[in-house]
Amino acid sequence: MAALNPQSLDMSNAIVAQDEMGRPFIIVRDQGKKQRSHGIEATKSHIIAARSVASIIKTSLGPRGLDKILVSPDGDITITNDGATILSQMQIDNQIAKLLVELSKSQDDEIGDGTTGVVVLASALLDQALELIDKGIHPIKVAHGFDEACKVAIAQLDKIADEVKIPSSFVKSSNATTSNADFNGDVEDGEELFKASKTSLGSKIVSKFHNQFAQMAVDAVLSVADLERKDVDFELIKVEGKVGGSLDDSKLIRGVIIDKEFSHPQMPKQVEDAKIAILTCPFEPPKPKTKHKLEISDVEEFKVLQKYEQDKFIEMIEHLKESGANMVICQWGFDDEANHLLLQNDLPAVRWVGGPEIELIAIATNGRIVPRFEDLASSKLGHAGLVREIEFGTTKDKMLVIEKCDNVKAATIFIRGSNKMIVDESIRAVHDAICVVRNLIKDNRVIYGGGAAEIAMSIAVQEESDKRKGIDQYAFKAFADALDAIPMTLAENSGLNSIEALTELKSRHIKEQNTHLGVDCLGKGSNDMKELFVIDPLISKKQQVLLATQLSRMILKINDVIISGKDSY
């Protein structure tokens, strides 16, 4: 046995002891104090960690939910009540709590809305599970009971869902723009889509203009939707924001907006009947593919090289002219000489346009992306009725608008706001509204908001629990109580007595057999969510319940956390 060297030990953190045979061993004080929970105790600690995270965003649920200020390590400030954004920017060290962040992200990626509600429901399920564990019920039994109760809740959602009418076609003019000034409340075509979009915006910063923003979201989705396949390509909808003006100035443009300007200040600021050459090749003379070294020893050689470059530039311009193009959009930059030649030949140009924007322009104008000047042809040009440069405020910030395009299946929602925080939060709000409309096109069934669906599910699960025997009965009751957390939180955030509001609503649900009754968060004087037009897509609510149940099952089945390289037992 190797001899111990006491000088090599940090005796401030360790002591040397001897066993009954006189052999020395070391006790490190930090390890002696370290407590590690196993089994049931570990499961309880995991539930408590997850609950602490959920309690932070619980107050952001509903139309009266409060916002959070998020400060980044660099000092940048974000103000939002979007659950996915709050959780993604929080610094969370606990591994179990990070699962809630992933849960919210999963809801956001799959559905786009309901990111706060899914975390609140998962937290409520874990709270109820903790009470059952304290009563001596094994976590695996609780997880199994939750899984069975979830099936009953989903079946009830299918039972109470209503179908909404989806427009068979998009009837608005493809060249129109939607703004608050245009909005007159006439939304007969796609009215239910408008109501659902409006519901998702009720808790957002744009709620003052939710009619305008809801209409923009519906028009944008319908303009790009494939109604036969029930599919929406989000790549065709672009959301752009620019600081300045007010939210009222936001509008939907049937076309594309890019944050660029014409490459030369003397180029025309407006091009009508634009035939656009969309290039991904650099506007410069070709270079050999091999490694080379070019030495110029006298003036004549330099002039030869200069003439070669000029001839190549002229050749490129001729290719553009022969194709019939009267405007150029290039993915790469070009130097002053090329820029001057484009100006001299009346070819307005835009440079350094990003790859995704190039693709969107090609789709909107029915053009082809051209990788070589030799491939240019009139059939490959994109067409737009109008391309114009617009300026903003005293800063003279410029953007390029391509509208009246050949292909109406491209839309840009252009958002204005007084500062960057409002613009960013408005973009997040519009994204949620677009996702809601997309979900209704995929599945046109809806349920009613304000906690009405959760109360209906809770009653159904409670009734089912009375038919069960054994431990499942406790799990079913716990699941029903967890579902009640959503309407209670909505009532609490709206300044109402949560217990009184929930008791009254449950009683009316049973007596009147009306599953449309929910929490009147805005004080409209009615609890009928159908009458108040507060609707949610069925697909969104289903996903919330399923994801929350799956996460709670996962956490209940974890009894230890092992960090590789740190713990050694």
Buried b (16+ CB within 10 A) or exposed e, 389-401: beeeeeeeeebbb
Strand partners, 398: 391
249 is catalytic: no
- Active site (annotated) includes residue 116: yes
CA distances from 64 to 214, 226, 234, 440 (A): 18, 35, 29, 25
- Cα 61 from Cα 81, distance rounded (Å): 8
Check if 82 is active-site: yes
Catalytic entry in 43, 59, 82, 178: 82
Cross-strand pairs, 105: none
CA 333 to chain CA centroid, Å, is: 32
Please state, in angstroms and as integers, the Cα–Cα distance from residue 311 to each residue in 82, 286, 316, 317, 332, following that order: 57, 12, 9, 10, 20
Provide the β-strand partners of residue 330. Answer: 279
Give the residue carrying structure tokens 């109820």. 128
Contacts with 250 (C-beta within 8 Å, 6 or more apart), sequence order: 179, 180, 209, 212, 213, 216, 413, 414, 415, 416, 426
Helix (H, G, I), strand (E, B) or coil at 550: helix
Q: Which residues, in sequence order, are CB contacts of 456 under 8 Å at separation 6+? A: 156, 157, 160, 509, 515
- For Cα atoms 91, 94, 98, give the angle at the middle one, nearest 5 degrees: 70
The answer to whether residues 79 and 425 touch, using CB atoms and an 8 Å cutoff, is yes
- Given the residues 43, 78, 80, 116, select the one marked as catalytic: 116
- Which residue out of 59, 80, 85, 115 is catalytically annotated? 115
Mutual angle of helices 139-160 and 115-134, in 10-degree steps: 140
Catalytic: which of 127, 432, 472, 481? 432
Q: How far is CA 231 from the centre of its chain?
A: 18
Q: Is 6 helix (H, G, I), strand (E, B) or coil?
A: helix
Residue 440, CA distances (Å) to 112, 211, 346, 449 in order: 12, 18, 47, 15
- The string over 370-386, giving b where at least 16 C-beta atoms fall within 10 Å of a residue's C-beta and e elsewhere, is beebeebeeebbbbbbb
Could you give the CA distance from residue 481 to residue 61 in angstroms, rounded to a whole number? 18
List Cα–Cα distances, 157 to 146, 441, 454, in angstroms.
16, 18, 9
Active site residues: 82, 115-116, 432
